[in-house]
Amino acid sequence: MKKYLSLVLAALLIVGVLAGCGEQGGTPAPATPGTSGTPVSTKDTLPPDSTFTSGEYEKLLALRFDGYEDMTVAEFRDKVGAVADTKEYADLFERLPKDTALQELKDTDEDAEFLFYILPLAGDDWKTRSYSGEVTSSYTGDKARLEYSFTLMILNPDAL
């Protein structure tokens, strides 16, 4: 039963993403910074109305370690904890969800995606994450709307 539910949720997520892409029209994708874990230049990726300075933003992005995609959740948490267990990082983590300019980019910008979807795994509330949203077709006639919500639970942080 869980397998079928997972397949249905995966299908709904894919349909939602595709419908969302249609809603965006021909918007070009943002330039992708270097893949070394820190951006080449934050002036292109940091929104001008963000509450973070370029230095603070780079400090957060420095937590995107090379090969983080291949780490277990436990390894990622340990590595971030070893680097970011300071008052300065705690302040940055506290301000991050309040930065609406970056929050708006989390589904279109690779850096913001990391900050809002991956980096929270290193925080206190990492075992369960809930997501929800809706997409609407871009047709002028009858509009189709899909609402979705799902919860991801990390059952084994040591598994890949």
Distance (Å, whole) CA 102 – CA 96 = 8
Q: List, for residues 44-98, the tens digit of each pLDDT value.
A: 578 888 999 999 999 999 999 999 999 999 999 999 999 999 999 999 999 999 9
Asked if residue 10 is part of any domain, the answer here is: no
β-pair partners for 136: 145
* φ and ψ of 145, to 5 deg: -130, 135
Q: In this structure, what token pair is assigned to residue 146?
A: 């899909």
| Mean pLDDT for the stretch of residues 146-156 | 92
Asked if residue 62 is part of any domain, the answer here is: yes
Asked if residue 50 is part of any domain, the answer here is: yes
Q: List, for residues 104-114, the tens digit of each pLDDT value.
A: 999 899 999 99
The SS3 assignment for 131 reads strand
Asked if residue 39 is part of any domain, the answer here is: yes
Q: Which domain holds residue 108?
A: 32-125
How many domains does one find in the chain? 1
pLDDT confidence of residue 41? 46
pLDDT confidence of residue 44? 58
The per-residue b/e assignment along 149-159, b for 16 or more CB within 10 angstroms, e otherwise, is eeeeeeeeeee
Asked if residue 131 is part of any domain, the answer here is: no
Banded model confidence at residue 10, pLDDT cuts 50, 70, 90: low
| Mean pLDDT for the stretch of residues 25-48 | 48
pLDDT confidence of residue 24? 42
Q: How does the average pLDDT of the chain come out, rounded?
A: 79
Q: In this structure, what token pair is assigned to residue 152?
A: 């991801």
Asked if residue 7 is part of any domain, the answer here is: no
The DSSP secondary structure of 6-29, one letter per residue, reads HHHHHHHHHHHHHHHHHHHTTPPP
Contacts of 33 (CB under 8 A, 6+ apart): 39, 40, 41, 44, 45, 110, 111
